Structure 1
Amino acid sequence: MKRTSANLKTLARESLAGNFSLPVSAYLLITILTSVLSMIVTGFLDVSNTVSLITSQILIYLFSLLSSLLMVGYDKMLLNLNRRQPYTLGNIFYAFSHNPDRFIVVNFLLLLAGILVSLPFDIPSYTSTSWNAMVLSLVGMLIRSLVSIVLAAFFGLANYLLLDYPDMGAMQALKESLRLMKGNKGRYVHLYLSFLPLTIVCIFTCYIGILWLLPYMQTTLAFFYMDITGELDNPVVDSESIQDNSFTNPM
């Protein structure tokens, strides 16, 4: 049964009711870790120097990949929450200890696609005047966001599949996500964009509201995955039953 965005959001609110503290704390920790690392890079490297500029940009991309891997663990936490299984703050490091190469390949490819389309705007932003640099950076960010949504409409289930199937390879997860998303791309985009009004509201809270919005959003997307795979209609009793049905083809 294909559930509507409203249905999935209702499930997310019910799942998070009384359980908001840990998802909020976990997302805050991820934000602090990646922000501190990024500030260290931008603070100590001289972007007026070409070599330093390139090094800075590469490190920022690496930190983006690190953030993606932490968010994979975050999704693991929320899947466990939705399934009424044990979940802890340590879940955010899950991708680093469970065949990390699979998660690295998937998230690197998705990150690379966003980088390639926004690079023409990112590079000039460092050599332009302050106003032009701000405009170019904003355009680059918007393009990355749009590309991210489009890619997620095709490959957004890959990380969930890797979480549920330890023997599945990166390329197989991307192909399986592509298959599952057939007929569901519009649903995904509609669901994703339905959070846009709340995102705008969060701007007026100096982005503090994101700490509550993102757990709500990611929990809803986790339910979207569970809906597409049929798990919501045929609940999995425990994680072992998922692993018993795991795919065996490596990347």
Structure 2
Amino acid sequence: MNGSIKYWKKQAKMNLSGHWGSAIAGVLAVGAVTFIGNILSIQLFPGSTLWPMVAGQVFVFVFSLIAMVFRAGYSYMLLNMARDREVSLGNLLYLFHNGPDRVLVAGFILSLLNTVAQLPFYYVSFIVKAGNTEAEQIAWIELCLVMLLVGVVLEVILTSPFMLTFCLLADSPEMGGIEALKTSARLMRGHILKYWLMMLSFIPLAILSLFSMYIGLLWLFPYIYMSETVFYMELIGTEPQNNTFYSEA
């Protein structure tokens, strides 16, 4: 792997040139599916007792699998941009017509990993009592925040080896979900640290996005996802066609 973070990010911006509208619309569409799932969960399973909370989480889990099919379609869209192929919002539906079961299988396992990573937070949120005094409630909130952070770290550790899964499924219609997970883990072996460093390099832009009332995230997310796509294409040994910056790495 010869590229650098500077190369991957510059290449990502070049690939997005002329396609920012489609890339942003795709992010909004995928995000809307997830948002609708959360809203429906609240509407269908109101209440704060154990049953509606569990039922709501199960509903969100199932709905997230559908959202992952759209997310895999977004990977297909970004690959088309990187390879100078035809791009449209219809790309988001590509995996619905090309083995959606493959995405559901892989997505189910990824969702399970996400759920396992969040178990400490769920335990504190649903099982541990907040207490009656102000001091006890503040301590409970602090514990929730710590467990949420722990969950995020665990999720990154557990899922990073599989970050190439959606690109592989979009790129290889014959590849099954389990095979895509295994192939991703194999390709990422020895490259996870580089991937983490690339993700960390976006933190300054994420902070700046907060000062734009989060509007900057509409550009940041496509930039991140395209950088991941460039990273994927180098790992599998195919460079994007617009590789002017490769010699600068």
- TM-score between the two structures when normalised by the length of structure 1: 0.83
Q: What do you get for the CA RMSD once the two structures are aligned?
A: 2.3
Once the 2 structures are TM-superposed, how far is the Cα of residue 15 of structure 1 from its aligned partner?
A: 1.1
The 3-state SS of whatever aligns with 1:113 is helix
Measure, in 1, the Cα distance between the counterparts of 2:99 and 2:233.
Answer: 22
- AA in 1 matched with 2:235: I
Report matched runs for 1:212-251 at 5 Å. 212-232=219-239
Q: Which moved more, 1:6-15 or 1:90-99?
A: 90-99
Measure, in 2, the Cα distance between the counterparts of 1:101 and 1:133.
Answer: 41
For structure 2, the 5+ residue unaligned runs are: 131-136, 242-249
Q: Which residue of 1 aligns with 2:247?
A: none
Q: Which moved more, 1:159-168 or 1:210-219?
A: 159-168
For structure 1, the 5+ residue unaligned runs are: 236-251
Q: Which residue of 1 aligns with 2:98?
A: 98
Post-superposition CA distance 1:27-48 (Å, at most 9, x none): 1122223213312321442232
Once the 2 structures are TM-superposed, how far is the Cα of residue 14 of structure 1 from its aligned partner?
A: 0.9
Q: Which residue of 2 aligns with 1:182?
A: 189
The 3-state SS of whatever aligns with 1:168 is coil
Q: Which residue of 2 aligns with 1:83?
A: 83
- AA in 1 matched with 2:96: F
Q: Is the 8 A contact 1:126 1:133 kept in 2?
A: no
Q: Which residue of 1 aligns with 2:198?
A: 191
Q: Is the 8 A contact 1:124 1:136 kept in 2?
A: yes
Q: Which residue of 1 aligns with 2:217?
A: 210
Q: Which residue of 2 aligns with 1:65?
A: 65
Which structure ranks higher in relative contact order (CA pairs < 8 Å, sequence separation ≥ 6)? Answer: 2
- TM-score between the two structures when normalised by the length of structure 2: 0.84
Report matched runs for 1:1-251 at 5 Å. 1-126=1-126, 128-129=129-130, 135=142, 138-232=145-239
Q: Is the 8 A contact 1:2 1:228 kept in 2?
A: no
Identity among equivalent positions (%) equals: 32
Q: Is the 8 A contact 2:68 2:103 kept in 1?
A: no
CA change 1:227–1:204 in 2 (3 A) is: same
- AA in 2 matched with 1:188: Y
Post-superposition CA distance 1:108-145 (Å, at most 9, x none): 11111120131231243246547667556544543443
Measure, in 2, the Cα distance between the counterparts of 1:213 and 1:113.
Answer: 25
CA change 1:109–1:139 in 2 (3 A) is: farther
